[in-house]
Amino acid sequence: MRLGLVTGNRHKLEELSLVLRDYGVELYMLDTPKIEVQSNSLEVIALGAARKAYSRTRVPLIVDDSGLFIEALRGFPGPYSSYVYKTIGVEGILRLLRGVPDRRACFHAVIAAIVPPYEKVFHARSCGFITESPRGAGGFGFDPIFAPEEGDGRTFAEMSIEEKNRYSHRAKAARMLGVWLREAFKRRVGSSKHL
């Protein structure tokens, strides 16, 4: 099965492709803009973008929208993570947390899938803490300052893609998507239809 990923971020394509190939899904970057509605809800943003992309392309597709929710900052930057990264970056977040002992944070991911006749949304998260300084050269976005609690103290940016995918919010949501696609495919093949 082939699925389009609505993104301009090649890192997302690489991470999601590694997970989804285990479910027989070939992911490719769909050449269409990701048009996002303004919302405090990652689900509303992802599903809205998926519906708009599907109305233009009419091909099975997914949209991933993720956010970093920092407890001491009352969930900021949350659904505005991409904008905050582009404006104040990693160093800006570290400045906001200077002297703050509570470093707990969670990455939340939402993957919205439109695979006619189905429309489905998958939620996952990875919790951990914000480090005192950036560490690692891998990953993207806020990966250099986020260490998952399930890991060994390294940040996502200090891990290989395969290691990051063991713990990441995006990979967890992708595995849920993969299981669902496999089951949906079985149901449709059983009724002589194909995804």
Tens of pLDDT along 32-87?
999 988 899 999 999 999 999 999 999 999 999 999 999 999 999 999 999 999 99
Confidence at residue 186, expressed as pLDDT on a 0 to 100 scale: 74
Q: Which regions in the chain score pLDDT beneath 70? A: 187-195
What's the predicted TM-score (pTM) here?
0.92
User: Are 118 and 184 within 8 A, CB to CB?
Assistant: yes
> Would you call 152 a catalytic residue per the annotation?
no
| CA distance linking residue 180 with residue 122, whole number of Å | 10
Sequential DSSP letters for 40-89: S-HHHHHHHHHHHHHHHH-S-EEEEEEEEEEGGGTT-EETTHHHHHHHTH
What domains, with CATH codes, occur in the chain?
2-190 (3.90.950.10)
**Annotated catalytic residue, options 65, 102, 143, 152:** 65
